[in-house]
Amino acid sequence: MQDRIAESEFILNSRGAVYHLDVRPEELATTIITVGDPDRVQQVSQHFDKVEHRSNHREFVTHTGYIGSKRLSVVSTGIGTDNIDIVLNELDALANIDFNTRFIKQTPVRLQIIRLGTSGALNEHIPVDAYVVSSFGLGLDNLLPWYELENTADEKAMLVAFSQQVTLRPGSANPYLAAASTDLSKHFQEGYHTGITVTCPGFYAPQGRALRGRLSHPQLLEQLTGFGFESHRITNFEMETAGIYGLGRVLGHDCLSISTIVANRIRQEFSKDGAAAVQRMIEKSVEIIAEI
């Protein structure tokens, strides 16, 4: 028999809510939209017919409500896969751990987790203000090497091709890969580009941006743009997708990441009104999510 999970490992606050998110099991839906920016939570929940729960702790803002009869939550993650480690584990705990007994529930609940974020394009044909659905998350950030992530044969072959074509400085990254949920991605086709999203452990040098710090890997953009495996190409990079896909796989959830392209790094263009483009992505995507 499994052990009761100790107070030091699974932390609840004084109202019996999971520590970082400050959410109780009954306050979370099984379809969850994640956003990086806490201010974007309200931009999503304004499309709900009714909001029944709001919580707010550190960078983690949660609203739960309904569109028609569909119950949805929207949760902000803040930036980076260190935060994704916290958010995905706590969402999973809310669904799959009994908060009273501290035992794992017998029947696993599979969540739908959909990121609505922003990203930089690595393909000159994907313009700013376009939307990209990530077919794969390819992590350079080192979160998933801490978990037992099982890869398919195709994913393993893609990782081998990546290590042959993209020469990272030894010790800088331990690349990992996980695919999107096709059950979710099949709903997001018209009006969305599709491709591999690279998840980076930072915004500047880890995405090839040189301000005053010199880059250890000045060929990064060129190598990522040139990468190919069968028909798969890298379209964009950001800071959460691979963590969501990888940890979603480990924990047994269906995950999808959708990004508004706010910068095209090949053309060196930046959106003139990224906020409006993000708002359009939210409207278009939430309408689809409400029907899934």
Could you list the residues that contact ligand URA (CB under 6 A)? Answer: 118-120, 203, 207, 238-239, 262-263
**Residue keyed to tokens 């017998």:** 106
Binding segment for ligand R1P among 31-39, 47-55, 61-69, 208-216 (CB under 6 A)? 31-39
Rounded distance between C-alpha atoms, residue 3 and residue 273, angstroms: 52
Instruction: Work out the angle at residue 44's Cα, subtended by the Cα atoms of residues 97 and 29, and round it to the nearest 5 degrees.
Output: 20
Q: Which element (helix H / strand E) includes 94?
A: helix 81-96
Partner touching 27 among ligand R1P, ligand URA, none, CB below 5 to 8 Å by kind: none
Which residue lies nearer to ligand R1P by CB, 149 or 239?
A: 239
Residue 238 interacting with ligand R1P (CB under 6 A)? yes
Q: Which residue has the tokens 């739960």?
A: 64
Given ligand URA, ligand R1P, none, residue 64, with its beta carbon under 5 to 8 Å by kind, binds none
Considering the rule CB under 6 A, would residue 85 count as an interface residue with ligand R1P? no
From 65-73, 190-198, 222-230, 237-245, span contacting ligand R1P (CB under 6 A): 237-245
**Strand pairing class (193-199; 232-238):** parallel
Q: Assess 92 for contact with ligand R1P (CB under 6 A).
A: no
Closest CA to 240 of 186, 274, 202: 202
Choose from ligand R1P, ligand URA, none: what does 36 bind? Cβ within 5-8 Å by kind: ligand R1P
Q: How far apart are CA 83 and CA 218, in angstroms?
A: 27
Among the listed ranges 33-41, 101-109, 125-133, 226-234, the one in contact with ligand R1P (CB under 6 A) is 33-41
- If one asks whether residue 117 binds ligand R1P (CB under 6 A), the answer comes out as yes
Interface pick for ligand R1P out of 21, 29, 35, 166 (rule CB under 6 A) = 35
Measured distance CA(231)–CA(31) in Å, rounded: 31
Phi, psi of 146 (to 5 degrees): -85, -5
Q: Are 196 and 231 in contact (CB under 8 A)?
A: no
Please tell me the distance from the alpha carbon of residue 173 to that of residue 164, in angstroms, as a whole number.
14
User: Which residue is nearest to ligand URA, using beta carbons?
Assistant: 120
59 binds ligand R1P (CB under 6 A): no
| 3-class state of residue 274 by DSSP | helix
Alpha-carbon distance 56 to 144, whole Å?
27
Q: Which of 92, 240, 247, 248 binds ligand R1P (CB under 6 A)?
A: 240
The entry of ligand URA, ligand R1P, none near residue 35 (CB within 5 to 8 angstroms by kind) is: ligand R1P
Question: Applying CB under 6 A, which residues contact ligand R1P?
Answer: 35-37, 79, 117-118, 203, 238-240
